[in-house]
Amino acid sequence: MNTTPSGSARRPRVVLYARVSTRDQSPEAQVVALREVAAQRGWHIIHEYVDMAVSGAKDRRPQLDELMRHVHRGGVNAVVVFRFDRFARSVRHLILALDEFRSRGVDFVSVNDAIDTSSATGRFTFSIIAAVAELEREILRERTKCGLEAARRRGAKIGRPKVVVDVRRAQELRAQGVSLRKAARMLNVGAATLQRALAANVESVDDLASAAE
């Protein structure tokens, strides 16, 4: 919904975002709280985005997607939310979104999380959150690496199973005029895999055809 309060020529232009996860909930409490903060800080609300009955775990949300497009179009000074979990599905999502906002000169304010990138304190709070998220990613990478190394020591094969290609049979089929795709189907391998195997083999199809003459 659009709001166009008077006397807004030089006030920061902000958009509000609220979300509820079920139809039984109402976003009104969130929206009212955001409007009150905007009034206290002298902001000009140019749009209110509300996602109804949408899970926070979903990658795509209609109103959030539209908000991001609005930010990309320009004319927005800040995005204001009730809590960051209403906005972002994870800390990583929040950090990526805030990086996008920062690159466009848009501040982010989460009313109940003490996150306000328009202030030094808020930027410091966000930097701590970002550092913790990075630490979590490093710990996860280390755990994954250790797990793979332990699996290798136990003799487990890591990665995709190796595809065995009967190159000689493939060469014979190609020499008989069978297309690459048909030969791949006959050998039960992908066409790209077969092409790579043929290219890597010492004997080419042309060599085989010459020898057969």
Instruction: Give every CB contact of residue 176 below 8 A, 6+ residues apart in sequence.
Output: none
Q: Specify the DSSP class assigned to residue 80.
A: E
Q: Give the 3-state secondary structure of residue 200.
A: helix
Instruction: Give every CB contact of residue 62 below 8 A, 6+ residues apart in sequence.
Output: 51, 54
Angle at 114 (CA atoms; ends 108, 117), nearest 5 degrees = 30
Query: Can 90 be counted among the known catalytic residues?
Result: no
The catalytically annotated residue of 6, 8, 21, 103 is 21
C-alpha closest to that of 82 among 139, 24, 33:
33
In terms of C-beta density within 10 A (0-12 exposed, 13-18 middle, 19 or more buried), how is residue 52 classed?
middle
In contact, 15 and 31? CB cutoff 8 Å: no
- Return d(Cα 44, Cα 142) in angstroms, integer: 46
In contact, 122 and 114? CB cutoff 8 Å: yes
Write out the E strands in 71-200: 78-81, 107-110, 115-116
Residue numbers annotated as active site: 21
